[in-house]
């Protein structure tokens, strides 16, 4: 069994002993993982199901610089027979196999797949894949553990309940160990990622009340997918902002499930999403109540402590406002805490790129863990600015 070690660049050279688990190296803690794939220099072959959508294309973009993954299969039923560069010209330089219909896909030389298909379509497809494959599903089909809740919110029966039970919810920074040992990971939604990352550590520490959690979230239009929809036309969306899914957005049960899991109690939120006239980016503004004696400084300090060793979650200095432009094209989540003018309340702002940390970037982060590769492999791109 081979082992891989993740260590901050400034600590390079200080690792004196590598062993399984967490080890102290010259006063620093590093995380060491066993690689299920053996030789850390070896290449793993991956498939991208649904490569003609935004999340599929983003997976392909991220894998272009990955040191350990090579794409050997790409599917897109409506674009079968076409090269990826004809569908997404920004990927024209990539030497990749042509896309095929999923029924014609050959998985004999594939080690893992990213499933980037719409919800409702992945259950039977994943059920039919070889059991040896590692799978990260970017749809909502395996996120909710309660089958009845899935059927209530998505309006259809679940066709693979046995896989629903097996699937691990892949909010990477929160469920790292479970993800490492998983065969099937349900990649979180974009809104749930931006909301749970700041809230889960605070709820776990008892620093915020479980009542009256109010979330105002805004997303770029790519969050609605690539399908042609009248509401997403330029003339419909430009120079304006509108709310949607009021009181019934499908990410609500996913968020409440995650928060309740650490609270050991039911958590109910008020959540209103908005569509913004930008291609990508997401901001969640979260209003919370604090117990008597707790201050916004306590919240800020705790989030810094919770994420101080994380590559992709950054708590900004006091007073600095997170901006979606500062995470564009990257796997980062930036967050901060502000004091509300109403005593006892705090305002938390969290920003991500909905296509990267909110989808494909986190999916790659998860598969890196599942395959025993460095968690940040292929994810080193800095945000694009301006």
Q: How far apart are CA 267 and CA 165, in angstroms?
A: 22
Q: What is the pLDDT of residue 222?
A: 86
Predicted pLDDT of residue 33: 54
Q: Give pLDDT, residue 14.
A: 39
190 counts as catalytic: yes
List, in sequence order, every beta strand (DSSP E) within the chain. Answer: 2-6, 21-25, 28-35, 44-49, 69-75, 112-115, 134-137, 168-169, 184-186, 213-219, 242-243, 269-275, 282-289, 313-315, 333-339, 345-352
Tell me if residue 236 falls in helix, strand or coil: helix
**Residue linked to tokens 């709820």:** 203
**Nearest-5° Cα angle at 299, 298 to 305:** 90
Instruction: Say if domain 191-354 classifies as CATH 3.30.360.10.
Output: yes
* Active-site hit among 25, 115, 116, 190: 190
pLDDT in tens, 276-303: 999 999 999 999 999 999 999 999 999 9
Instruction: Tokens 């958590």: give the residue.
Output: 267
pLDDT at 92 (0 to 100): 95
User: Which token pair is 162?
Assistant: 């046995």
pLDDT value of position 42? 84
**0.85 exceeded by the pTM?**
yes
- Residues in the chain where the model's pLDDT stays below 50: 1-30, 34
CATH number for the region 44-188+359-371 comes to 3.40.50.720
Among 364, 313, 363, 309, CA closest to 334: 313
Domain locations in the chain?
2-35, 44-188+359-371, 191-354
């Amino acid at each position: 069994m081979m082992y891989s070690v993740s260590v901050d660049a400034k600590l390079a050279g200080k690792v004196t002993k590598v062993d399984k688990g967490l080890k102290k190296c010259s006063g620093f803690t590093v995380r060491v993982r066993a690689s299920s794939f053996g030789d850390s220099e070896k290449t793993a072959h991956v498939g991208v199901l649904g490569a003609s959508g935004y999340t599929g294309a983003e997976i392909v973009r991220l894998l272009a610089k990955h040191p350990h993954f090579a794409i050997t299969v790409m599917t897109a039923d409506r674009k079968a027979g076409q090269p990826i560069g004809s569908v997404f010209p920004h990927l024209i330089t990539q030497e990749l196999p042509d896309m095929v219909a999923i029924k014609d896909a050959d998985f004999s030389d594939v080690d893992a797949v990213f499933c980037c298909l719409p919800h409702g379509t992945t259950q039977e497809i994943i059920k039919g894949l070889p059991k040896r494959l590692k799978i990260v599903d970017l749809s909502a089909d395996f996120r909710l553990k309660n089958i009845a809740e899935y059927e209530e919110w998505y309006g259809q029966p679940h066709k693979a309940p046995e896989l629903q039970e097996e699937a691990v919810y892949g909010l990477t920074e929160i469920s790292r160990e479970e993800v490492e040992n998983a065969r099937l990971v349900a990649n979180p939604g974009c809104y749930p990622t931006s909301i749970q990352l700041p809230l889960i550590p605070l709820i776990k520490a008892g620093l915020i009340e479980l009542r009256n959690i109010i979330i105002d979230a805004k997303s770029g239009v790519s969050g609605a997918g690539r399908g042609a929809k009248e509401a997403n036309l330029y003339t419909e969306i430009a120079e304006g902002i509108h709310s949607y899914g009021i009181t019934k957005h499908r990410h609500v049960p996913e968020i409440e499930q995650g928060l309740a899991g650490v609270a050991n109690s039911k958590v109910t939120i008020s959540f209103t999403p908005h569509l913004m006239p930008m291609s990508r980016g997401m901001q969640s503004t979260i209003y919370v109540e604090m117990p008597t004696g707790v201050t916004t400084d306590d919240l800020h300090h705790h989030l810094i402590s919770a994420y101080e060793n994380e590559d992709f979650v950054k708590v900004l200095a006091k007073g600095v406002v997170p901006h979606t432009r500062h995470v564009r094209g990257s796997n980062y989540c930036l967050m901060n805490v502000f004091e509300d003018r109403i005593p006892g309340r705090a305002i938390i702002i969290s920003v991500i790129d909905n296509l990267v940390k909110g989808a494909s970037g986190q999916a790659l982060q998860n598969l890196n863990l599942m395959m025993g590769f460095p968690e940040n492999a292929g994810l080193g791109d800095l945000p694009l600015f301006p």
